[in-house]
């Protein structure tokens, strides 16, 4: 006689039968022909246990065993074992409704039973639940972590708040840091956020207006100069951006984390081009005197357009978009691959059909531009096929582009919706964490006052 025990269920195995008993020793069920059932499934865990002869081989099958009483212990879910016994009796497996699909899969995998033995009444339901669970947990499978509302992320935020307790003027620095980092922290933080948004919009507007001919002036040497009003507005915006970056740098509880944060890097990049060009103008001269270096300066001036990314600090949608693009590299790669294949195929077809016509399809590389704008359904109309075969190729290119772009775009949109909801949840969690951190010091002060009054 051998025993198999599974938490609250005790399995007494005889040579010809098995008796399942609860902890109170009340008999639940008795199964005859037990050995015959096990012998028909020797590749399962219990089937392999029949042929174990050494202690090492037994411990590879069960969690523990008693050599004297010949009891075998399995630290598994006892509620599932009746389904395992039913499988040995009938050769068909049924799903346990109380377990999720992945827990059920782990349990039957432990007992060495394949999910292919699931009966038809449970197979569809099992795979449907498993697919739904994978859809809900796609972020974990895609190594998503940047905007995850996990306990670890909130814990990191609280850990940063605790750092201020060890710094000089920590309470004041913490309040100022929260005011600049969290727009929902207080009324001053909302005002600060609004001013920052207005300055960003003013800076972008100034840069755009400065490119208009009526605002471009020449000095006495016929050298272009900036409009004085726009020039002063640019200096004001740069002063504000510099104040923001320097303040966040001074107040940051963790400098290493500060320089790793994408939004802080955007703030730094938005002001560096100005100081670089200012340094060059003061030390070397104007762009016309610099030669090739002047072109580099012009490129740095064009980098001012990245200031628009500063709005991401105040926009949940932009942050969600950035996270979506970061974690959709597989879908974007598939999209680019589909487009590359489609452009190559249809460009070759268009070249073959139009090479004898004076329509601009002179070479296959020159047809790539036409294939790209056609597959993306932009259609500038600068190059148009004239033959019937060329028009058929163009029609196939457009229809193929619609299908190719639509497939991954749907997945990317679903990810964006998911990230947006997670980002909103994270903001609410951080806001609640801020309030809790404010309540704790006040409660401690009240207890100290009570203790002082008792003294």
Q: What is the DSSP string of 200-250?
A: HHHHHHHHHHHTSGGG-EE-TTS-EE--HHHHHHHHHHHHHHHHHHHHHHH
In this prediction, residue 444 carries a pLDDT of: 42
**Of the candidates 406, 333, 412, which has an alpha carbon nearest to the alpha carbon of residue 138?**
412
pLDDT, averaged in runs of 10, over the chain (455 residues): 42 40 38 52 78 79 72 75 80 80 82 83 80 63 44 63 76 83 80 90 87 76 75 89 90 84 85 82 62 64 76 78 80 86 90 84 87 85 86 90 81 80 71 57 46 45
* Alpha carbon distance, N-terminus to C-terminus of the chain: 73
Instruction: Check if the beta carbon of residue 101 is closer than 8 Å to that of residue 126.
Output: yes
Distance of CA 177 to CAs 180, 245, 353, Å?
A: 5, 12, 65
Which CATH superfamily is 2-136 part of? Potassium Channel Kv1.1; Chain A (3.30.710.10)
The span from the CA of 285 to the CA of 137, in Å, is: 58
User: What is residue 32's DSSP assignment?
Assistant: E
Beta strands 17-22 and 9-13, pairing class: antiparallel
The span from the CA of 66 to the CA of 323, in Å, is: 55
Strands (E), 240-354: none
Rounded (10°) CA dihedral 183, 189, 194, 196: -90
Tokens 């598994």 label which residue? 76
The span from the CA of 105 to the CA of 26, in Å, is: 30
Structure token pair of residue 206? 């100034």
The span from the CA of 165 to the CA of 177, in Å, is: 13
**Of the candidates 42, 41, 40, 62, which has an alpha carbon nearest to the alpha carbon of residue 51?**
42
The span from the CA of 218 to the CA of 226, in Å, is: 8
DSSP labels, 351-376: HHHHTTSSSS--SHHHHHHHHHHHHT
Handedness of CA 317, 319, 320, 322 (dihedral sign): positive
Distance of CA 120 to CAs 123, 134, 384, 442, Å?
A: 5, 22, 56, 62
For residue 114, the Cα-to-chain-centroid distance in whole angstroms is 33
What is the widest separation between alpha-carbon atoms in the chain?
Answer: 111
Residue 363: half-sphere exposure toward Cβ, Cα within 13 Å: 2
**Of the candidates 250, 230, 240, 238, which has an alpha carbon nearest to the alpha carbon of residue 195?**
240
Evaluate whether 2-136 and 167-314 have a shared fold. no
Nearby residues of 140 by Cβ (< 8 Å), 6 or more positions away: none
For residue 323, the Cα-to-chain-centroid distance in whole angstroms is 6
Bridge partner list, 225: 217
Please count the residues of the chain.
455
Q: What angle do CA 326, 246, 165 make, to 5 degrees?
A: 90
Based on its alpha-carbon atoms, the radius of gyration of the chain, rounded to whole angstroms, reads: 35
Q: What pTM did the predictor assign?
A: 0.55
For the chain, helix (H) and strand (E) counts, in that order, are 19, 8
Beta strands 217-218 and 9-13, pairing class: unpaired
Given the candidates 1.20.120.350, 3.30.920.30, 3.30.1950.10, 3.40.190.10, the CATH classification of the domain at 167-314 is 1.20.120.350
User: What is residue 16's DSSP assignment?
Assistant: S
**CB pairs under 8 A, 24+ apart, for 128-133?**
129/100, 129/101, 130/101, 130/102, 130/105, 132/101, 133/100, 133/101, 133/102
Residue spans of the domains in the chain: they are 2-136, 167-314, 329-446
CATH topology of domain 329-446: Helix Hairpins (1.10.287)
Instruction: Check if the beta carbon of residue 148 is closer than 8 Å to that of residue 422.
Output: yes
Bridge partner list, 17: 32
What are the start-end ranges of the H helices in 55-114? Answer: 55-61, 81-90, 101-110
Structure token pair of residue 233? 């507005």
């Amino acid at each position: 006689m051998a025993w198999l025990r599974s938490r609250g269920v005790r399995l007494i195995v005889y040579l010809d039968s098995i008796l399942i008993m609860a902890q109170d020793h009340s008999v639940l069920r008795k199964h005859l022909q037990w050995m015959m059932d096990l012998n028909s499934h020797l590749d399962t865990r219990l089937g392999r246990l029949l042929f174990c002869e050494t202690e090492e081989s037994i411990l590879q099958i069960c969690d523990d065993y008693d050599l004297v009483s010949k009891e075998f212990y399995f630290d598994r879910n006892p509620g599932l074992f009746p389904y395992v016994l039913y499988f040995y009796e009938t050769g068909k497996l049924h799903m346990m409704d109380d377990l999720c699909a992945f827990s059920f899969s782990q349990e039957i995998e432990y007992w060495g039973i394949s999910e292919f033995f699931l009966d038809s009444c449970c197979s569809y339901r099992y795979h449907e639940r498993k697919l739904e669970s994978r859809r809900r947990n796609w972020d974990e499978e895609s190594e998503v972590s940047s905007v995850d509302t996990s306990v670890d992320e909130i814990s990191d935020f609280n850990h940063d708040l605790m750092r201020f307790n060890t710094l000089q003027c920590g309470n004041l620095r913490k309040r100022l840091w929260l005011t600049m980092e969290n727009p929902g922290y207080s009324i001053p933080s909302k005002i600060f956020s609004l001013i920052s948004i207005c300055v960003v919009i003013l800076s972008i507007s100034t840069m755009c207006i400065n490119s208009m001919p009526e605002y471009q002036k020449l000095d006495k040497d016929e050298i272009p100069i900036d409009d004085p009003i726009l020039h002063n507005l640019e200096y004001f915006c740069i002063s504000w951006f510099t104040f923001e970056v320097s303040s966040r740098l001074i107040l940051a509880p963790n400098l290493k984390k500060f320089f790793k944060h994408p939004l802080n890097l955007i703030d730094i990049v938005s002001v560096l081009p100005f100081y670089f060009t200012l340094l060059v103008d003061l030390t070397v001269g104007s762009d016309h005197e610099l030669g090739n270096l002047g072109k580099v300066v012009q490129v740095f001036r064009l980098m001012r357009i990245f200031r628009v990314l500063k709005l991401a600090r105040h926009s949940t949608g932009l942050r969600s978009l950035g996270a979506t693009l970061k974690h959709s590299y597989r879908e974007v790669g598939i999209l680019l691959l589909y487009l590359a294949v489609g452009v190559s195929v249809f460009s070759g077809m268009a070249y073959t059909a139009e090479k004898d016509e004076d329509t601009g399809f002179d070479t296959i590389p020159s047809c790539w531009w036409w294939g790209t704008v056609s597959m993306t359904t932009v259609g500038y109309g600068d190059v148009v096929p004239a033959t019937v075969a060329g028009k058929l190729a163009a029609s196939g290119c457009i229809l193929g582009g619609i299908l190719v772009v639509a497939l991954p775009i749907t997945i990317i949109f679903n990810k964006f919706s998911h990230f947006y909801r997670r980002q909103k949840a994270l903001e609410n969690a951080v806001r609640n964490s801020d309030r809790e951190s404010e309540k704790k010091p006040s409660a401690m002060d009240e207890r100290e006052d009570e203790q002082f009054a008792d003294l």
